[in-house]
Amino acid sequence: MRRLRNVKIVATLGPASNDYATIRALFEAGADVFRLNMSHGTHEEQRARHTIIRQVEADTGLPICILADLQGPKLRVGVFANGSEELVTGADFRLDLDPAPGTLMRVNLPHPEIFAALEPGASLLVNDGKIRLEVTDCGADYANCKVTVGGTISNRKGVNVPDVVLPLAALSDKDRADLEFACEMGVDWLALSFVQRPEDVLEARELAKGRAAILSKIEKPAAVKAYDAILAVSDGIMVARGDLGVELPVQAVPPIQKRLVRGARAAAKPVIVATQMLESMIESPMPTRAEVSDVATAIYEGADAIMLSAESAAGSYPVEAVTTMNNVAISVEGDPVYRDIIEASRSAVRQTVADAIVSAAREIAETTNIKAVCCFTQTGTTVSLVARERPRVPIMALTPLMETARRLSLTWGTHCVITEPQERFKGAVIAAARAALSYGFAHEHEQILVVAGVPFNVQGTTNILRVAPCDERLIYRGDPE
């Protein structure tokens, strides 16, 4: 099964996509990566989904990427005696550590670390920003506030603190348990929620011990400010526009999205654009025109992947949502303007031999009749560098390691193929030609580019490329030296 697009599709699994038939249908419709949202469901439910994905992988013979999304330190108010209260704009309201049920005047906020960090004038956003409070006075166990935007506040609604870097542990006890469970289960990527600083990423990396790649979700103003440092220690990025749009003015999100995507592209690290992409398809078989334009914008920006959340996890039309994304991607990438935009936004990186090799590979592919760039890789570094160039021809990622193939399934333009280990470049060229013919990337006598590092099986040695023909002499008798 060959995708006719470069951008990848991430589909979240949930109650609407729990069985083999649906997950198989989602994959065949275009899902490249399946997201397990650790905020919902038990470990047993997530393990069952993981097992089904791996069965689909075995049945189709194609590597499938699994991303486990950790909940992060979620801040919530306590409960109310009446279940909810209506806060009026201009009224006074108090948050405190008193566990007693809330009233119209106050409610418990069981997070002393918030009070320790607050200052007068700070904003507090409740229920995804529908209610806004401004701190007028605060202490170690309370915050007196003025209601600047009123509304209904009810039990355990979430609280956002956009103006303050909170002294919160990067991972809650639940996150630590979920991280260990996900790594033992064998997921390929871990997504970290509410990252504020690079130290948050380093803590997760230490716990993961190399068992999964680390993807940082940018959804806090503090993370936007520290983006370069966070990007440097992350393996990938997610532009999580939901909470980002709560804590920042909504008009600030589009330019931030563009900057985050461009930064990740320049660093050769995959970037996902997420949240509310086809929101109306939770209940409707057709998206709005504005949603289609939003998906298209992320593709034009060169994002590695676009993501469905509730649309595929809990919606009435999960397969239709993936099909819609797939069709939009094919249409956008077929637009001549798409190539103009992608190439205009390409970063010129020429710092190492590997940078020069992949840049030359892209230029050769675009100026001659090359059908595919075939990359031999152990860790995925070579493929990531080639993908950063956003070449006009497909990228074949050839690796003997299933875990590498799975992780690379998130990377723009890559088609992952499991191959036999290679010790010599001649064998790699023969294997690449066979794979290109077998998967339909090239026909006999057409040419491919082979990129690899010599000596083989050594990380960071991308240093050689060759134009190779796909013909019987090469494949069946070997390449005479």
Task: Report phi then psi at 32, rounded to 5.
Answer: -100, -25
35, 157, 388, 407: the active-site residue = 35
Active site residue 89: no
Distance CA(236)–CA(230), nearest Å, equals 10
From 391, 296, 384, select the one nearest 343 (Cα to Cα): 391
- Tell which phi-psi region holds residue 45, choosing left (phi > 0), alpha (psi between -120 and 50) or beta: alpha
DSSP state string for 333-401: HTSHHHHHHHHHT-----SSHHHHHHHHHHHHHHHTTEEEEEEE-SSSHHHHHHHHT--SS-EEEEES-
Distance CA(223)–CA(217), nearest Å, equals 9
How open is the CA angle 399-404-406, to the nearest 5 degrees?
110
Element (H, E) at 200: helix 198-208
217, 362, 390, 407: the active-site residue = 217
Task: Report phi then psi at 398, rounded to 5.
Answer: -105, 125
391 to 174, 261, 339, 363: CA distances (angstroms) = 42, 17, 9, 8
Q: Is 324 exposed, middle or buried (0-12, 13-18, 19+ CB in 10 A)?
A: buried
Distance CA(146)–CA(93), nearest Å, equals 6
Active site residue 8: no
Element (H, E) at 87: strand 84-87
Given the structure tokens 């675009």, which residue do they identify?
366
Active site residue 76: yes
8, 132, 265, 275: the active-site residue = 275
3, 24, 74, 76: the active-site residue = 76
Active site residue 275: yes
Close Cβ partners of 410 (under 8 Å, ≥ 6 residues apart): 8, 10, 32, 33, 65, 67, 188, 189, 236, 270, 272, 304, 305
Give the pairing type, strands 131-139 and 142-149: antiparallel
Q: Which residues are catalytic?
A: 35, 76, 217, 275
